[in-house]
């Protein structure tokens, strides 16, 4: 059995996927520029020796064709799991050039390197952002895909490119459309580590570490049960397991396909906030600000397709995700403090 190439393996979701792959007995090659991901994460992943899997790391950038081609020449790669991308919606509106170049051009280099080396299976991190504003809920895979920001557009373009590469070159893809990813490894070995952090749960948790800090809530006048936006929070370990199933699906001869990864359950911002306060055992003052442009009231996934085709079901609750995220955040805060101390 060859290795699995994980692009973006030093990042948040990629690192959890590497653990899931190791636990399933796969050998892994991580490819990451470390622009956002961290070398500490790579070292942690390489120290996990479950079932004797090999975990190699290559620092490189998908924008450079020779760097990614070289990986296929030096390693016997079976399949690819492709996480590497920029993924901040607001930044993509301000700097679309950066997003189209990294996400689309970077992926083209990856796909071309795969074809050159006769590797034909890829699992791709797509997103609920490819659907754009919901026309109905829950959103199933047949929902129109009309993304409303450059980030979502880059991901839809890649999905379309993958369809054309299948028709012309027989490249098989599974596109996993994630909803709101949350939580951390249950042993707190890896977790969400972004700077700046744009996601709700780590930001609420971060605000519990500094006294007197308030949490900004955007909009409490939506047409929802408590007036705040409802999202579908999918646990990162549940999500990682879906990638292992997607690899197996492709290796068993599965056709190109696409699946939502969500729980079908929605939680409001206020519910998330309250659960964070419960888990941490501390209250944080909220400041209500007006709605942000482009935030729909409700985004939840229909997930039956992933269940019926790949046998995937999410198991963890929102509270599980928040508890693991908090355990990880404590470690992260310690690391940050140590670094600051060392720099003084």
Ligand X SMILES: NC(=O)c1ccc[n+]([C@@H]2O[C@H](COP(=O)([O-])OP(=O)(O)OC[C@H]3O[C@@H](n4cnc5c(N)ncnc54)[C@H](O)[C@@H]3O)[C@@H](O)[C@H]2O)c1
Active-site residue set = 151
Among 63, 117, 224, 264, binds ligand X (CB under 6 A): 63
Among 6, 19, 71, 85, binds ligand X (CB under 6 A): 85
- Residue 252 neighbours by CB under 8 Å, 6+ apart: none
Residues 172-231 that bind ligand X (CB under 6 A): 178, 180-181, 194
Q: Are 17 and 235 in contact (CB under 8 A)?
A: no
Under the binding rule (CB under 6 A), the answer on residue 132 touching ligand X is no
Under the binding rule (CB under 6 A), the answer on residue 35 touching ligand X is yes
Under the binding rule (CB under 6 A), the answer on residue 102 touching ligand X is yes
| Residue whose Cβ sits closest to ligand X | 11
Element (H, E) at 78: strand 77-82
Q: How far is the CB of 188 from ligand X (least distance, A)?
A: 17
Taken in order 106, 109, 115, 117, the sign of the CA dihedral is negative
Under the binding rule (CB under 6 A), the answer on residue 12 touching ligand X is yes
- Residue 246 neighbours by CB under 8 Å, 6+ apart: 123, 174, 176, 259, 310
DSSP letters along 237-259, please?
HHHHHHHHHHHHHHHTTPPSEEE
Residue 251 to residue 92: CA distance in whole angstroms: 34
Residue 224 to residue 320: CA distance in whole angstroms: 24
Under the binding rule (CB under 6 A), the answer on residue 263 touching ligand X is no
**Closer of 62 and 284 to ligand X (Cβ):** 62
**Closer of 191 and 323 to ligand X (Cβ):** 191
Which neighbouring-strand residues pair with 289? 218
Residue 177 to residue 41: CA distance in whole angstroms: 24
Residue 58 tokens read as: 């290559």
Under the binding rule (CB under 6 A), the answer on residue 32 touching ligand X is yes
Q: Which stretch binds ligand X (CB under 6 A): 34-42, 73-81, 201-209, 280-288?
A: 34-42
Q: How far is the CB of 60 from ligand X (least distance, A)?
A: 6
Among 23, 61, 69, 333, binds ligand X (CB under 6 A): 61
Contacting positions for ligand X (CB under 6 A): 8, 10-14, 32-37, 61-63, 83-85, 87, 102, 106, 125, 127, 178, 180-181, 194
């Amino acid at each position: 059995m060859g290795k699995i190439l994980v692009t973006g393996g030093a990042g948040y979701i990629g690192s959890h996927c590497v653990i899931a792959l190791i636990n399933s007995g796969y050998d892994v090659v991580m490819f990451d520029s470390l622009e956002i991901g961290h070398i500490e994460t790579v070292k942690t992943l390489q120290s996990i020796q479950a079932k004797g899997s090999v975990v190699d790391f290559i620092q490189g950038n998908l924008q450079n064709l020779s760097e990614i081609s070289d990986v296929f020449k030096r390693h016997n790669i079976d399949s690819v799991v492709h996480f590497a991308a920029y993924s901040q919606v607001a930044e993509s509106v301000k700097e679309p050039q950066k997003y189209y170049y990294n996400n689309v051009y970077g992926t083209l280099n990856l796909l071309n390197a795969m074809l050159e080396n006769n590797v034909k299976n890829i699992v791709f991190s797509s997103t609920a952002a490819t659907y754009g504003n919901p026309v109905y809920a829950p959103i199933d895979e047949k929902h129109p895909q009309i993304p409303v920001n450059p980030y979502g557009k880059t991901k839809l373009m890649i999905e379309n490119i993958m369809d054309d590469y299948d028709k012309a070159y027989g490249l098989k893809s599974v596109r996993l459309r994630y909803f709101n990813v949350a939580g951390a490894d249950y042993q707190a070995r890896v977790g969400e580590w972004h700077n700046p952090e744009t996601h709700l749960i780590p930001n609420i948790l971060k605000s519990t570490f500094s006294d007197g800090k308030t949490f900004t809530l955007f909009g409490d006048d939506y047409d929802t049960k408590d007036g705040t936006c409802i999202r579908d929070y999918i646990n990162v370990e549940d999500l990682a397991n879906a990638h292992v199933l997607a690899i197996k699906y492709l290796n068993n001869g599965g056709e190109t396909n696409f699946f939502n990864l969500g729980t079908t359950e929605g939680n409001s911002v206020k519910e998330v906030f309250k659960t964070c306060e419960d888990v941490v055992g501390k209250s944080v003052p909220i400041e209500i600000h007006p709605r942000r442009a482009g935030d729909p009231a409700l985004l939840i996934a229909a997930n039956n397709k992933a269940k019926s085709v790949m046998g995937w079901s999410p198991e963890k609750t929102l509270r599980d995700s928040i508890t693991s995220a908090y355990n990880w955040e404590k470690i992260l805060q310690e690391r940050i403090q140590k670094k600051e101390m060392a720099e003084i």
